Chain A
Amino acid sequence: MNRRIAAVLFLISFSSFDVFAAENLKSHIKAEVVSDRSSVQPGERFYAGIHFKMDPDWHIYWRNAGDSGIPTVIDWKLPEGVRAGPLLWPFPKKIQMEEITSYGYDDEIILLNEMTISENFSSHQLTLEADVTWLGCEKICVPGKSSPSLTLPVSSSASEPSENNEKIQNTLTSLPEPFLEPLKGKVSGSNVTLELPEEWGTKKEILFYPYEDNWLDHGAPQKISKVETGWVLKTKKSSIAPAFSDSTIKPGIIAINEGEKVYEVEIDFIQSKNEDASLLGHLTFKPSGTLLLAIGALGFFFFCNKIRGK
């Protein structure tokens, strides 16, 4: 037999079970460095980030990946004199796959950092390089890794906006704004209640996305409802949630009407153990059903007795 054909057949015979070797490691996610400036000036601040482009149906993950997935990581390798601020995460999409709820981005997204270049930066060029790792998933998941870079001229004259400036400005306006007051939260059994400011009560949709992955039931519905004290968002705790202490603070973001407004918030939980608050929490939920049943049962017994009486 022709040697080449034999080699091909040999490969084919292995390919279906060859899982240790790279199966289909074609990258479905592209990552490149973008900046809002086409040149930079020592002493100024500017934005740089990673522009991710996903193939259709593919996604990467937010800082809290949710039930499955791994957060995207950007590790800048910057020359001396250049510092990166915290990574700025736009609010994510909920990705629902059967029973599993994750948080991430599809299509395209820019994850930015604010950069500061020192006054004494003396080189004529600045190379912005980052080690980027992500988990890309469609129906299947493929981990990705790359080290993209961008080199910008450094000049003493005022810097110019780059071709990506508009996209970056749009990304900046979609970032969560800090919400100054912590919101009050309550946990009672598996029920989680977040108190909302009065003016949010009329909003169509309010979604809370926690930064930590282990305490909220990511798949549970989040419902706005009116109670005596005002408007609340009702949802569920995860069955793996660690115990809440007297004043557990949980950070996250709140997105109103699909990102019409996004706030970074802290939820201040007062874990009510056997107090009235927890009783009330129960009353609004379970016993109301039991009460109905009791009334129904009573009625049924009266009905039975009446028949027996005849």
Chain B
Amino acid sequence: MSDLLAIGTSALLNYQRALSTTSHNIANINTAGYSRQNVEFGTNNPKFEGGTWYGTGAHVVSVNRAYNGLLTEQVRIHTTLAERADAYYGYAKQVDDILSDSKAGLGAAVNSFFTAVQGVANDPSSTPARQVMITSGQSLVDRFHYVDNRLDEIEQQVSRDVETTVAEINELGTAIAQLNSDISFAYGATGHAPNDLLDQRDALLEELSGKVQVQVVVNDSLMANVFMGTGQPLVLDASSGSLSVEPNIYVPTVRDIQLNLAGQGGTTVTTQMTGGALGGAMDFMNDILLPARRDLGQIAAAVSVSFNDQHRLGIDLQNQLGGDFFTEPVPRVFANANNTTQNVPALVDFDVDGIANLTTNDYYLKYDGVDWSLTNAQTGVVTPLSYGTGGGVAPDGTDATPWKVDGLSISVEDIVGTVGAGDSFLIQPTANAAEEIAQRIEEPSQVAAASAVAVQQTTDAQGRPVNTGTGLVDQVRLSRSSGIDPQFTLLPMGDDITLTYDGTNYNLSSTLGFNITPPTIAYAAGTNNGMSATVTIDDGAPLPLTRSVDITFRLSGSPAAGDSFILYDNDNGASSDNTNALQLAALESRKLMNGGTASYNDANGEMLADASTKTHRAEITADAETVLQDQAKELRDNVSAVNLDQEAASLLDFQQAYQASSRVISTANTLFDTLLKVVG
């Protein structure tokens, strides 16, 4: 009878536990990472009595969680991939929006600017037309600034997000380490795995896998060791390392990620932090944002350098040579924080003649103690450079003859005395160019619409021709100038150059005795009709600067011997001359970028295509990864998560068993009463 009572009571308690476990399951229906728990029953040891074995009821063996380690790991893997894709696409979409906004985009501003240049070409003497050109130039500059600012805002946002993510990773690491300690203690003390703590840790690990890629290795004492990215340890047993955000070794405003381990100091791990929101942010920066800013800067640099170059070849309404229309950006140079000194070479600039070869890449300028080299940071291509070997003639890195590589002009003369072996510099030619370009000219009269030089046949006092042949010299323009300082308001030639035909050659002469190369040009009417010629004129005077200009013109017709033409500085009020404005307007469709394959707007199109193709791919990836993540979670949840119907059924089941056990106790009671009555 006492058996009956004991069996009934223990069964009652067993089912109470089962019912409470079911309630626990129902209560945790919405708890992330919760694994439903099962009570496992076992039969009690039988008792030998009267020559046979009697059962003594049941007991609870353990409470298990429905768990499959492989499926949980799959969820982590897909969470890493999905969060990376999601973060990446979220940022990429913003860049795509900025670049594809037809009103705020760059293309429309480039078009309006060149429309305004054409307006000046149509009516060069009109002050309003010139004013419109200056205003449109300012609008173009504003557009560069606007797009670059928007991109910069996104860069700032990504930086803040990275800092937040790093802080979250650190907190997760600490919490996981703490749980490791708790789990290991509980397991060691009882020999039973603490299900709810394991679930909590799995939930934290899943959350962590959304921040950065993780590998989890569980040891014998149930501690989870966590490695990030490409194998950097975050949690080892009960201790956790931490990440921090530190200034980049070259550019202090750029942030690197550093892993700090107790007793081991810090290691830069920026490029190793793959996967998750952190990896997505890093990949976005390197794939889309930084390239887009460099692309934009490349266009700003090309527009300002090539437009200025042409503008300087014209003459303005004040009869002065054209100055810079735009303020040109300057490549940024940073010294490595470990360099011997923090001096940077001062003369790193765009190479006007090679501007078409300007890339969108960054470069490392390195000194090994003997020689220099320039390494493209994106392609890895190395250009060896030698200092001072050219004797000041060939490019040798001196101020006089700087190295010319990829549209850059580099001199290290000013630092060559202080630089140490192993020193290196980061050159960012275009990263900030879109921010730095500015409108320089403010006065409408300063637009150099006219050709700086002009030509005329020799005339008499009344302006009538004196030549007797039909020879013609026209299409004259200044094609190169050096040594002309606009501050000194010098004119390109400073003298009239006379071309006199002697029947075979044009002989060139200068009143002031300037050097003309070549001094004669052979011209035969029949064979050379329409030939183009270029002569170089220098004044031979070293002060203030040795002035040297190239004048290009066209020869045609049949000149008679003795006929002459005069090349002159076009400073006699040629207010209606649009020669240089036409050349400026033509820049719009010239292939002045990417090695002579792309116009400004082609480059803009390439930038947009590049960013939007990557965004498009990111969208597809993000969608696909989300589906895969959902599937992985479903598979896990199908094993681990709570099903209410199932719990309802369990509830009924255990309730009935509980009631039956109660009946066992009441039966025992009835039996006892019956016995008492018999006795009593």
Please say whether chains A and B are actual partners in one complex.
no
Residues of A within 8 A of B (CB): none
Residues of B within 8 A of A (CB): none
